[in-house]
Amino acid sequence: MVDSAVREETKRPAAKEADLYSWARRQAELLRAGRLSEIDAQAIAEDGLDLAGLGALDAEDAHNALVAVKGVGPWTADVFLLFCLGHPDAFPAGDVALQEAAKLALNLKRRPDAERLERIAERWRPLRGVAARMLWAYYRGVKARAGMALADGSR
């Protein structure tokens, strides 16, 4: 099981914008390493959730099925749908880097919260997942971030 320090780290965004990228990167590392799934795997098994079947559902129904599992929050659900199942309409509106990218790309005065970003993203249905990836790429370019290395060592 995952220790409490890691569990806390997955819940708490960094306080400073300069730390947002590091925090988001750590979240991705934990997800890639399977650490987040360790937290929720028992609950998912107990609920009998068909993870493979989620891909056949629309994004909202799949999201709702995942967040109904104790310990699975909206961000985890949407990131799982987007990166693990390749759901084209999954959109993690609670992702801070995605919110900041939307602020920059759309010339907004303030970074939108998850609720506002959900409303903005409605126009991108049924391909909000593609929009999310484009916004993250834009954020990476604007902030001149190197990004995470892929499994093969490339970026």
**Residue 129 amino acid letter:** G
Q: What is the pLDDT of residue 88?
A: 93
Where residue 111 falls (left for φ over 0; alpha for ψ -120 to 50; beta otherwise) is: beta
pLDDT at 148: 60
- What is the distance between the alpha carbons of residues 45 and 136, in angstroms, rounded to a whole number? 32
pLDDT digits (tens, 9 = 90+) for 113-124: 999 999 999 999
pLDDT for 91: 96
Residues of the chain with pLDDT under 50: 1-18, 20, 36, 39
Quote the pLDDT of residue 51: 73
* Sign for the pseudo-dihedral over CA of 68, 72, 75, 81: negative
Q: What is the pTM of this model?
A: 0.67
Give the span between the Cα atoms of 119 and 114, in whole angstroms: 9
Q: Is residue 14 packed enough to be buried (19+ CB in 10 Å), middle (13-18) or exposed (0-12)? A: middle
pLDDT at 98: 96
